[in-house]
Amino acid sequence: MTKQRRLRHAVLGVALAGVCCSGLQARWLPTDDVKVRIESTELGGPKIVIEYDLKDPNISPQSPAYVFLRYSKDFGDNWQWLPTDALRGNGFDIVTKPGRKEVVWWGTDQTSVADLGQVEVRVRAIAMATVPAGRFVMKSLPGGGRDESNKAPPDANVPLYYIAKYETTIAMYADYLNEVGGQGAGWNSRMAKADRCGIVQENDHTYRVAPGREDYPITYVSWYDAMGFLQWCGLRLPTEAEWEKAVRGGLYLDGDQTRKHPNPLPERRYPWGDDAPNEGGVHRCNFDGPDDGFERLAPVGSFRRFAGPSGVCDLAGNVAEWTLDWYTTSYHVGLDGFRMVRGGSWMAVPEGCDAVTGATQLPLKESSIMGFRGVRRPTAGP
């Protein structure tokens, strides 16, 4: 490693040990004051303790943060996932309170760490929404009505899950590329278009976000790109059922166990209710044309007044979103078939932004009207 690069990594080691994003909720949630120390255990091996501040006061059981950690043992040349089964504490995975967090890393991966000076840790947090377990009204036909592998009945019961409040942003995706992008994996030249995306690849294969584009949703990502980003985070794409339940909510908004808060519109057409996206001259999401205030993409969260019943923003319009489900009329192993995309986009007619409209796309498709968000199911307790 060159001296210049070591210096850059040393600086990054401070700045990125907690990836701070100046409080912009739509990007990583702000984490701060990351401290890493090494302690001996009674068994003789070391354990590493990571502390940081999770400052967003809005974090709650209904709006938790998803926190994941990655580390490097070679001055930032290579970064690895810090597996949650090697972690203890209150500051990783789904975190439901803000404040000072402590994570103890005590597993096999850290035993080779002899010198703490080698180690850099990055803590990143994503704003999530909790969708309680319980039945909901599934009105679309799963997999476009063709996929037998997806048999969610109309009155489907979906276990508790957490879904990102916002679509993955350009800033988040550029951060990912800078960590793992190497020679260009996950990036394509169309992403450089500043009016429809805005990530520029530099000559040294680092990536920068076009000025002012940080909070816009990432576009031109294939299904595989989306999966790559989400695996890097420890998340996955939502199924169609999860996506649709995030739009409509369950029969009870607090879940089937408590049943205290019936959903007033369990069959709603849009996240906010049944009003059309442009009804009464009120623009509730980013659809085709400039009347909603955006000729093309809008920054994520621009229509947060019209979030779904669990607080998930931008499910309607802006970018259509990849889901985990696939679609086929004739499927065969070895043929990589269509995936389902939901939610309408900035190019869609208003009614195409509803809870049931889906489109098919080949998984390699990179489009200026498609992005994604992540989902997490609870990890099993001890």
Partner 1 sequence: MEKLNRRAFLRSTLGLTGTAALWPSTRVLGANDKIVVGVMGLGGRGTYLAQKFAERPEVEIAYLCDPNTRYFARVREAVEEEQDRSPKVVQDFRKVLDDKNVDVLINATPDHWHALGTILACQAGKDVYVEKPLAHNIWEGRKMVEAARKYKRVVQTGMQTRSAPYAHKAREYIASGKLGSVYLVRVYNMMQHPRQAKAADGPVPEGFDYDLWCGPAPKRPYNPSRAWLNQFDYSCGPIAGDAVHQFDMARFLIGDPAYPSAVSQTGAIRSLVDGRDMPDTQMALYEYDGLTMTLDAALWTPYLKKIPAGVRDSDQFPDWPFCSTKVEVLGTEGFMYFGRHGGGWQAYDRNGELVHSQCGRQGDKDHQDNFIQCVRTRDKPTCDVEIGHLSVLPFHLANISYRVGNQRLQFDGATESVTNCDEANRYLKREYRPEWTVPENV
- From candidates 264, 274, 349, 378, binder to partner 1 by CB under 8 A: 349
Q: Which residues contact 32 (CB under 8 A, 6 or more apart)?
A: 18, 20, 52, 53, 55
Comparing CB distances to partner 1, the nearer of 126 and 315 is 315
Give residues 301-320 in contact with partner 1 (rule: CB under 8 A): 320
Which of these, 217, 171, 212, 231, lies nearest to 375 by C-alpha position? 231
Query: Interaction with partner 1 in 238-257: which residues (CB under 8 A)?
Result: none
* 98, 266, 288, 363: residue in contact with partner 1 (rule CB under 8 A): 288
* Cross-strand pairs, 121: 71
State which amino acid sits at residue 310.
S
Among 38, 49, 141, 180, interactor with partner 1 by CB under 8 A: 141
User: Of 150-179, which residues contact partner 1 (CB under 8 A)?
Assistant: 154
Site for partner 1, residues 255 to 284, rule: CB under 8 A: 276
Residue in 23, 145, 212, 378 binding partner 1, rule: CB under 8 A: 145
| C-alpha pair distances (Å), 234 with each of 15, 34, 155, 312 | 22, 20, 29, 19
Give the integer Cα–Cα distance in Å for 112 and 152: 46
Of 13, 91, 352, 371, the one binding partner 1 (CB under 8 A) is 352
Of 76 and 143, CB closest to partner 1: 143
Tell me how many residues contact partner 1 (CB under 8 A).
Answer: 36
Strand 320-327 and strand 370-371: pairing? parallel
Among 148, 183, 260, 382, binds partner 1 (CB under 8 A): 148
Query: E strands within 8-92?
Result: 31-40, 46-54, 65-72, 80-81, 87-89
Query: Which residue lies nearer to partner 1 by CB, 1 or 364?
Result: 364
Rounded to 5°, the CA angle 94-137-223 comes to 55
- The nearest distance, CB 148 to partner 1, in angstroms, is 4
- Contact pattern for partner 1 over residues 318 through 337, marking x by CB under 8 A: --x-------xxxxxxxxx-
Alpha-carbon span 16 to 92, nearest angstrom? 17
Rg of the chain (C-alpha set): 21
> Considering the complex, what minimum distance in angstroms separates the CB of residue 348 from partner 1?
4
Residue 245 CB, nearest distance to partner 1 (Å)? 18
Supply the minimum distance, in Å, between the C-beta of residue 354 and partner 1. Answer: 8
- Does 147 engage in binding with partner 1 (CB under 8 A)? yes
Q: What share of the chain is helix, strand, coil (3-state, %, to 5)?
A: 20, 25, 55
What single-letter DSSP state applies at residue 109?
Answer: G
Instruction: Find the binding residues for partner 1 in span 354-373 (CB under 8 A).
Output: 356-357, 359-361, 367-369
Q: Give the contacts of 211 (CB within 8 A, at least 6 positions apart).
A: none
**What is the smallest separation between the CB atom of 298 and partner 1, expressed in angstroms?**
15
Sign of the C-alpha dihedral computed for residues 11, 17, 18 and 21 taken in this order = positive
Binding site for partner 1 (CB under 8 A): 141-142, 145-148, 154, 190, 276, 288, 320, 328-336, 338, 344-345, 347-349, 351-352, 356-357, 359-361, 367-369
